[in-house]
C-alpha cells in the first residue's frame, strides 16, 4: 500500500470509530433502538436523526465511506480492507470500553489478538512459498 493509501485507511478507521461511538451515544440518549416491524424501523430511525449526536455520527459515517471509496479506487483491496477492519475493530472496542464502560476481559483481549493476527497473515502482500 502507498503512504497515501495508509493515511486514507487510518483516516477511514478513525472516522468510522468516531461515527460508531457517536451513533451509539445518540441511541443511548435518544431512548434506544428496538423496532419490531419495518414501519417501526423507519420511525425509530427518523426519531434518532433528531438526536444531534446520532445525526452527527450518521453524517460522519457517510464521510468515512467517501474517504474509503478513494482507497477502493487506488489500493489493493485484499490488503486495504483487512487493515481497515482490524484498525476499526480495535479502535471501536477501545472506545466502547472507555466511553460506554463495556467490559474488557482477558478472553476478549486474546480473541482480539488472534483475530488481528489472522488478518495480518491474510493481508500480507508478499506470498510465502
Express each pLDDT in 76-125 by its tens digit. 988 889 889 888 988 999 999 999 999 999 998 998 888 888 877 776 66
Whether residue 49 has pLDDT greater than 90:
yes
pLDDT at 68: 97
Does the predicted model carry a pTM greater than 0.85? no
pLDDT at 41: 92
In a domain, 90, yes or no: yes
In a domain, 128, yes or no: no
In a domain, 61, yes or no: yes
The residue segments making up the domain with residue 70 are 3-123
pLDDT at 126: 57
In a domain, 81, yes or no: yes
For 15, counting Cβ atoms within 10 Å of its Cβ (0-12 exposed, 13-18 middle, 19+ buried), the class is buried
The CA distance from 28 to 35, in Å, is 14
The CA distance from 23 to 3, in Å, is 30
In a domain, 37, yes or no: yes
Residue 50: its H or E element: none
In a domain, 129, yes or no: no
The CA distance from 77 to 97, in Å, is 30
Q: Structurally, how many domains does the chain consist of?
A: 1
In a domain, 49, yes or no: yes
In a domain, 103, yes or no: yes
Amino acid at each position: 500500500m502507498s503512504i497515501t493509501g495508509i493515511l486514507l485507511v487510518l483516516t477511514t478507521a478513525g472516522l468510522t470509530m468516531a461515527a460508531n461511538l457517536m451513533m451509539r451515544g445518540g441511541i443511548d440518549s435518544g431512548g434506544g433502538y428496538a423496532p419490531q416491524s419495518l414501519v417501526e424501523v423507519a420511525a425509530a430511525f427518523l426519531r434518532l436523526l433528531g438526536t444531534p449526536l446520532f445525526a452527527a455520527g450518521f453524517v460522519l459515517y457517510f464521510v468515512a465511506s467517501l474517504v474509503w471509496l478513494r482507497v477502493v479506487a487506488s489500493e489493493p483491496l485484499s490488503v486495504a480492507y483487512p487493515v481497515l477492519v482490524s484498525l476499526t475493530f480495535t479502535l471501536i472496542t477501545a472506545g466502547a470500553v472507555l466511553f460506554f464502560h463495556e467490559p474488557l476481559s482477558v478472553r476478549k483481549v486474546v480473541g482480539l489478538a488472534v483475530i488481528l493476527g489472522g488478518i495480518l497473515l491474510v493481508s500480507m502482500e508478499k506470498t510465502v512459498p
